[in-house]
A and B are shown apart, each in its own frame.
Chain A
Amino acid sequence: MQNNIPILKLGDFLLVTIQMDVHDRTALQLQDDLTNEISKRRSKGVLIDISNLEVVDSFMGRVLSDIASMAKVLDAETVVVGMRPAVAMTLVELGLSLPSVVTALNLERGMELLTQRLGRKGNG
């Protein structure tokens, strides 16, 4: 059995770092854990770092989309960061463009983007 993916609290945000290979069940578990955590901590933003992930197939793509949509319902923004070039190309060839997922190049950019988006929301 794979260990659950840890969810770290980073200021107002939650940070999830996905490791090299993830079993399907572990990915679904993350979906559960993350929604619970968002609700419990009233988090406004979620960063999912996939820079270690070598494969995003249609299943993993759906998990990422679902997490983003679920977080939205719970009033939190999700940014997926660090997608590798080869993974991005493969996803496109697979026919997936993850329209509901906001992406950023790396963790730092993801933080900037979240802060910016949340700031805009707060002001508006």
Chain B
Amino acid sequence: MGNEESFRESLRLRSDKDVSKARVLISQWAVRQEFSVIERTRAMTAVSEIARNCVVYAGGGTMYVSSLYHEGAPGFRIQIVDQGPGIPDVDQSMKRGYSTGGGLGLGMEGARNLCRAFRVESNAGAGTTITMDYWK
């Protein structure tokens, strides 16, 4: 009774096709956990931003999704890990308009606005891990 097994999935991110797959995977998680349409859309959009950054700027990486409980509310944790050059100045990268590529520079800050909790761990030269939590 009430003994839900914690569940974990992973996905390799190498190209724009994988960014699509990442969106679909998160959509499935959100549907399974009966998230509202708007919450599902937020999660899919945030993942799309971060997964693309990973492919474009870090040459690829891996996405992990696992279930979580936040004060009793069910949800999931998305982690996107790469071995790329890292983000030299995390604070700077969170500012609106910051961009190292051709984007609108909304990726990181935008994604942060779209999730319940957002964390960046990055060391120059040692890759980046971005964690995004969602719960109902």
Q: Is the CB of B106 within 8 A of A24?
A: no
CB distance from B23 to the nearest CB of A (A): 6
Q: Is the CB of A94 within 8 A of B23?
A: no
| A residues in contact with B23, CB < 8 Å | 21, 54-55
Tell me the A87-108 residues at the B interface (CB within 8 Å).
87, 89-90, 93-96
| A41 interfacial by beta-carbon distance below 8 Å | no
- Using CB atoms, name the residue of chain B closest to A59: B52
Which of B42-50, B64-72, B85-93, B128-136 sits within the interface?
A: B42-50
> Out of A23, A84, A86, A90, which one reaches B20, CB within 8 Å?
A23
CB distance from B64 to the nearest CB of A (A): 20
Q: Which among B41, B49, B52, B96 has the highest number of chain A CB atoms within 10 Å? A: B41
Chain B interface mostly helix, strand, loop or mixed? Answer: helix
- Using CB atoms, name the residue of chain A closest to B37: A86
A54-B44, A55-B48, A56-B45 known; A86 vs B104 contact (CB < 8 Å): no
> Out of A62, A87, A93, which one reaches B103, CB within 8 Å?
A62
- Using CB atoms, name the residue of chain B closest to A27: B16
| B10 interfacial by beta-carbon distance below 8 Å | no
A59-B103, A61-B104 known; A54 vs B41 contact (CB < 8 Å): yes
A93-B113, A93-B114 known; A58 vs B38 contact (CB < 8 Å): no
| A57 interfacial by beta-carbon distance below 8 Å | yes
Docked CA distance A62–B81 (Å): 26
| B75 interfacial by beta-carbon distance below 8 Å | no
Docked CA distance A94–B10 (Å): 25
CB distance from A104 to the nearest CB of B (A): 20
Q: Is the CB of B104 within 8 A of A54?
A: no
Docked CA distance A61–B89 (Å): 26
A21-B23, A94-B110, A95-B113 known; A57 vs B48 contact (CB < 8 Å): yes
| B residues in contact with A58, CB < 8 Å | 49, 103-104, 106-107, 110
| A9 interfacial by beta-carbon distance below 8 Å | no
| B residues in contact with A72, CB < 8 Å | none
| A25 interfacial by beta-carbon distance below 8 Å | yes
A-B contact pairs, 27 of them (CB 8 A): A23-B16, A23-B20, A24-B16, A54-B23, A55-B23, A55-B48, A56-B45, A57-B48, A57-B52, A57-B110, A58-B103, A58-B104, A59-B48, A59-B103, A62-B104, A86-B37, A86-B40, A87-B41, A89-B41, A90-B38, A90-B42, A93-B110, A93-B114, A94-B113, A95-B106, A95-B109, A95-B110
